Structure 1
Amino acid sequence: MDENESLTGVFEAHRGQLRAVAYRMLGSVSEADDAVQEAWIRLDRTDTGDVRNMGGWLTTVVARICLNMLRSRQSRGEEPLEERMPDPVVGVAGGADPENETLMADSVGLALLVVLQTLEPTERLAFVLHDMFAVPFDEIAPIIDRTPAATRQIASRARRRVRGAAVEPDTDLSRQWEVVEAFLAASRDGDFEALVAVLHPDVVLRTDSGPMAWSELRGALTVAKQALMFRRMAGFAALVPVNGTAGMVSTKDGRVLAVGALTVADGRIAAIDILADPARLDRYDAGTLTGRA
């Protein structure tokens, strides 16, 4: 085995975690893959003879790349990050998808990724690396040009913001499915009272229908009325795992019309996040998605 083959093997052994880090940082599967590819190029061009922890080194490289990508978004004056839905990772027929298995792990729900997008780039990096991947603060600090103590404070601030905005989902997946099934049944039947009953009083419905087409509604009565307006769409919906938790996909004539992730907390739906942007939905193959209903 030559040196290049050995280097490739080492990189491939860490690719799954690197994609997971990049996806949680960027909220985009394609951009995460770009970041991982850039990390490979840097590895191939760098003398790593003195590197003792290759996984840690690669994680640091990917984190720096993602931080630069987040900052570049801001400098280009793009629409605010929180006003685009992160890419949903949807279950496929035939079981686990090797490409996306690590992205689905640990049930990092779409609602949490939406909240992460409201953080500043350095806050998001510190939170993701420390709280999600247990990277020590003294390793994170050089990436953001801060001291370990300052990095700890940044992560703590991010953690407070996340806890204040993100709902802690129920861990029982079977119970999640039951609640989502009840929601779809009530939508299809036009049963307003049943819809309100399955929704948390402070439920939030976020929808991304395309660039500059972000909408956000709050409250059980408001969200239930919206669900009734789109009851016909519910007839095309099937239950699918989305980001490791209960979700749904609407398809018609072989096309994906929408992908939704539902956050179930205390037995009721606390958040609904829907991607309905036709351009972004084109990357999903309706025939491969796993449906339950």
Structure 2
Amino acid sequence: MGNFFLIPIIFLGAIILFSSFFIVKQQTAVIVERFGRFHSIRQSGLQMKIPLIDRISARLGLKIQQLDVIVETKTLDDVFVKLKVSVQYVVIREKVYEAFYKLEYPHDQITSYVFDVVRAEVPKMKLDDVFVKKDDIAIAVKSELQDAMLDYGYDIIKTLVTDIDPDAQVKEAMNRINASEREKIAAQFEGDAARILIVEKAKAEAESKRLQGQGIADQRREIARGLEESVEVLNKVGINSQEASALIVVTQHYDTLQSIGEETNSNLILLPNSPQTGSDMLNNMVASFTASNMIGEEMKKQNPKPKK
């Protein structure tokens, strides 16, 4: 009969003994209460409490935590915008008591302060300034939170404005403005390129014309030199200058006819093209040169040069 009661007592004693010990994980703080009142704060490791008298009231993490708060507000130029503010905070190890007993809902408290600061700062700025000065907004949020949450046992590590989302119509308008600006810049570059191309093309054409004119001048100079040499050769065999010039012209005429005949697909027609054309040309030129010389001689007789 005694053994029947001994076994439950031993079992109950084992349960009480094991319940006296508990483990606290790394970066965690445990609040122990005795008869409903705060008793102690236990850090990481194997800890002990009095069974049925002490109880674990809460476990608070000491790691850095992040809370994302989305705030919708209006800018100075009447544009509605949503800001995502990320708050990184941590429970101060020396103020675990304040963090648990003074503030019941830390997330709600932090969210309220973020809303208050953002809706006080953003309406002072235009939309473009919100993007440029987002770091200033984050600093203002941190400063306000740091002062308010420190008494509650929380340290604000960092605040970041991670996203700025204007109204959909405003974003579309901004995209159109950016596209127009880029098209304007592209048009300017294209215009500059076209202008440079035109200038360079004009320079190239001018240089080409200059070289072409120089080539024609050199060609005519060589032709004249060749004609002069031909006349000198003909003069040596008793043909005067007028007859030599006429003969050279007739020779060039026949050379031209030969060149035209060598072109099989040419549509060029040389007029006049009768067989006696060369002979008539030669006679006419000789007669013209002779008449010209006679007129020149008569003019010299009528207008003699004055004697010095």
The TM-score, its normalising length taken from structure 1, stands at: 0.19
Structure with bigger gyration radius: 2
Greater relative contact order (Cα < 8 A, sep 6+) = 1
Higher helix share: 2
